[in-house]
A = this chain, B = another copy of it.
Amino acid sequence: MDGKGLADEMQIDMQEMVAELKNKGITPGLVVLLVGENPASQTYVKNKEKRAIALGFHSVVERYPATISEAELLEEIEKFNQDDDFHGILVQLPLPEHIDADKVLNAIDSTKDVDGFHPINMGKLLIGKPDMIPCTPYGIMKLLARYNIDISGKNAVIIGRSNIVGKPMAQLLLMEDATVTIAHSKTKNLVEVAKQADILVVAIGRGHFVTKEFIKPGAVVIDVGMNRDENGKLIGDVATSEVSEVAGFLTPVPKGVGPMTITMLLYQTIKNARKKGNQ
């Protein structure tokens, strides 16, 4: 399953959406708050910025020293909450240890929370009326739709229960009428559980952990992993070459789920700007 390809397709649609908005005098605005010098964060933020600018966004990256106080960061967020030029606010994680990440995420205006991590957005998702949706699982749903994967009544198994992937993924698949199982590090007989999956989503952060024994023949396998092997090469949680012999569909790493995550972030920012246009 070609995540890069779908992201490119959507980029074209989104260019049109941005052009329409600009005709109405609205430029989608996204601000990314980056604290400290984490090299991985620098790379992520650079990619987001590049894609946002390519779409014609008003894209701002605010950089703060790792020594910024929590109170100062909260003040900055409040400033952007009030600023109508920005339809999306994103705080790049991780934050330095002296800052309470929950407190910071909760301070973002939930209607500008394009990452979908605010408790009120998580709550809307849990009650089946989602507004802002965490971008990785949202991107996976778009991929499944693009490949006409039938979800209703299927067994979906998610390995990993993080707040940013596993748990929201479960809710989205449940909304599409899958029978959903959430498995994790404490699960016994993980191979047996995984093997019942018609749709298997793997998000555990262990390189090539899922081998072909885990896979029901013909299953759809979504690999959310982003790990480095001993040579520094980017690898997924799924042992791609052997699993591809058994699976019906498989997302590669890279160019699978990853490009869709940034795409959905930009997509939600555009949706927010559109809402503003309709007010």
Chain A residues engaging chain B, CB cutoff 8 angstroms: 102, 118-129, 152-153, 161, 163, 167-168, 170-171, 174, 177, 179-184, 186-188, 193
B128 close to A163 (CB less than 8 A): yes
Whole-angstrom distance between the alpha carbons of A127 and B167 in the complex? 8
Whole-angstrom distance between the alpha carbons of A262 and B157 in the complex? 34
A186 close to B152 (CB less than 8 A): yes
Q: Which of B118, B179, B186 contacts A177 (CB 8 A)?
A: B186
Whole-angstrom distance between the alpha carbons of A139 and B160 in the complex? 27
**A26 CB, min distance to chain B CBs, angstroms:** 27
A187 close to B153 (CB less than 8 A): yes
B125 close to A126 (CB less than 8 A): yes
Query: In the complex, which residues of chain B have a beta carbon less than 8 angstroms from the beta carbon of A177?
Result: 184, 186
The 8 A-B pairs of least Cβ separation, nearest first, read A123-B123, A119-B123, A122-B123, A177-B186, A181-B181, A179-B187, A122-B126, A127-B163
Main secondary structure of the interface of A (DSSP, over half): mixed
Query: In the complex, which residues of chain B have a beta carbon less than 8 angstroms from the beta carbon of A127?
Result: 119, 122, 163, 167
Whole-angstrom distance between the alpha carbons of A126 and B152 in the complex? 23
Whole-angstrom distance between the alpha carbons of A180 and B184 in the complex? 10
A182 close to B184 (CB less than 8 A): no
Query: In the complex, which residues of chain B have a beta carbon less than 8 angstroms from the beta carbon of A170?
Result: 170, 182
Whole-angstrom distance between the alpha carbons of A189 and B125 in the complex? 27
Whole-angstrom distance between the alpha carbons of A188 and B154 in the complex? 8
Q: Closest B residue to A179 by CB, please name it.
A: B187
Q: Which of B120, B180, B183 contacts A123 (CB 8 A)?
A: B120
**A210 CB, min distance to chain B CBs, angstroms:** 16
Q: Which of B102, B124, B125, B179 contacts A129 (CB 8 A)?
A: B102
Whole-angstrom distance between the alpha carbons of A125 and B167 in the complex? 11
28 interchain pairs, CB-CB under 8 A: A102-B129, A119-B120, A119-B123, A119-B124, A120-B123, A121-B123, A122-B122, A122-B127, A123-B125, A126-B126, A126-B163, A127-B163, A152-B186, A153-B187, A161-B174, A167-B171, A170-B170, A174-B182, A177-B184, A177-B186, A179-B181, A179-B182, A179-B183, A179-B184, A179-B186, A179-B188, A180-B181, A180-B182
A126 close to B167 (CB less than 8 A): yes
- Also in contact, A193 and B179, with CB within 8 A (given A121-B123, A123-B120): yes
Whole-angstrom distance between the alpha carbons of A214 and B177 in the complex? 21
Query: In the complex, which residues of chain B have a beta carbon less than 8 angstroms from the beta carbon of A122?
Result: 122-124, 126-127
Can you add 7 more A-B contacts, CB < 8 Å, to A118-B123, A122-B123?
A122-B127, A123-B124, A125-B126, A126-B126, A170-B182, A179-B183, A180-B181
Query: In the complex, which residues of chain B have a beta carbon less than 8 angstroms from the beta carbon of A163?
Result: 126-128
Whole-angstrom distance between the alpha carbons of A262 and B102 in the complex? 31
